[in-house]
C-alpha cells in the first residue's frame, strides 16, 4: 500500500501535548507531557505543518477569560519557538452549549467532534485527506478525524487510557511521541518502497 506523504498534523492540546488538569488556564499549571516537545520538534524537522486544535469550553463556562487563554497560548508558543518548533496556527473553540458567558454559550460547528476549524485549514492549503493526520486523547478528537476521513491516532495520555477501549482511531499509541514516530516511520517505509 502506498501512503502519500503526510503534510500536516492536527494535534489536540490538553491531555495530548500538556498534562490534563481540568481547565488549564494558568502558566504554573501548564506542564508538558514527557516527550511531547521532542515529538513536535520532529514534525518541524520533517517539514510537516503543525496545527493545534483545542476545545476550550472553560471560556464559555466562565472558568477563565479569553485573555487568560491568549496569555497561556503565547507562553506555549514561546516555549515552542525556544525548542525550534514551528506551529502554523492554534485553532480553538471557546463555545459550549452549557456555558454561562452569553457570547460563548451556544452549539457551534467548531467544537470537536465538529470539524469547521480543521476544514478551514484543509481548504486554505488544499490538503488531501490522505495527506493529514489527527492526534488526540479523546474520542471527540478521533470522531472529528473520522468525519473528515483522515488517519487518526488516539494517545493513552490524558483521557486516552479510558477512551482506548471504545475508540475508532486508526491507531492507538502510548503518547504523542509514539504517534509522531509512527507517522515518520510510515513515511520512511514508503520512501524505501519507491
Ranges of each domain in the chain? 8-193
Residue 3 has pLDDT above 80, yes or no: no
Q: What pLDDT score does 32 carry?
A: 98
Which three-class secondary structure state does DSSP give residue 51?
A: strand
Q: What does the pLDDT look like over 90-138, one tens digit per residue?
A: 999 999 999 999 999 999 999 999 999 999 999 999 999 999 999 999 9
What is the distance between the alpha carbons of residues 149 and 162, in angstroms, rounded to a whole number? 24
pLDDT for the residue numbered 192: 46
Position 141 scores a pLDDT of 98
Long-range pairs of 121-126 with CB within 8 A, sequence gap ≥ 24: 121/8, 121/10, 121/51, 121/88, 121/89, 121/91, 122/148, 125/7, 125/8, 125/49
pLDDT in tens, 32-41: 999 999 999 9
C-alpha 179/C-alpha 148 separation (Å) is 19
**8 A C-beta contact, residue 78 and residue 115:** no
Residue 185's pLDDT band (cuts 50, 70, 90): confident
CATH H-level, domain 8-193: superfamily: HAD superfamily/HAD-like (3.40.50.1000)
> Who has greater pLDDT, 91 or 189?
91
Which residue in this structure is represented by grid cell 506542564? Answer: 31
Cell numbers 479510558 correspond to: 162
CA distance linking residue 120 with residue 51, whole number of Å: 12
pTM attached to this predicted model: 0.94
Examine the pLDDT at 188 and tell me if it is beyond 50: yes
pLDDT digits (tens, 9 = 90+) for 140-182: 999 999 999 999 999 999 999 999 999 999 999 999 999 999 9
Query: What's the mean per-residue pLDDT of the chain?
Result: 94
Q: What order do you get walking across the sheet with 132-136 strand by strand? A: 89-93, 49-55, 8-11, 132-136, 151-155, 171-173
Amino acid at each position: 500500500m502506498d501512503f502519500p506523504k503526510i503534510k500536516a498534523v492536527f494535534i489536540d492540546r490538553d491531555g495530548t501535548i500538556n498534562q490534563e488538569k481540568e481547565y488549564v488556564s494558568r502558566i504554573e499549571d501548564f506542564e508538558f507531557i514527557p516527550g511531547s516537545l521532542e515529538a513536535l520538534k520532529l514534525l518541524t524537522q520533517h517539514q510537516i505543518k503543525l496545527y493545534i486544535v483545542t476545545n476550550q469550553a472553560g471560556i464559555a463556562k466562565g472558568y477563565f477569560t479569553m485573555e487568560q487563554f491568549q496569555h497561556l497560548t503565547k507562553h506555549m508558543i514561546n516555549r515552542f519557538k525556544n525548542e525550534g518548533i514551528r506551529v502554523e496556527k492554534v485553532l480553538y473553540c471557546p463555545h459550549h452549549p452549557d456555558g454561562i458567558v452569553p457570547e460563548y454559550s451556544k452549539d457551534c460547528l467548531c467544537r470537536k467532534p465538529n470539524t469547521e476549524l480543521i476544514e478551514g485549514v484543509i481548504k486554505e492549503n488544499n490538503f488531501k485527506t490522505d495527506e493529514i493526520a489527527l492526534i488526540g486523547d479523546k474520542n471527540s478528537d478521533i470522531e472529528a478525524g473520522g468525519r473528515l476521513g483522515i488517519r487518526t491516532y488516539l494517545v493513552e495520555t490524558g483521557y486516552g487510557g479510558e477512551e482506548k477501549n471504545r475508540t475508532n482511531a486508526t491507531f492507538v499509541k502510548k503518547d504523542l511521541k509514539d504517534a509522531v514516530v509512527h507517522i515518520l516511520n510510515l513515511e520512511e517505509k514508503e520512501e524505501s518502497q519507491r
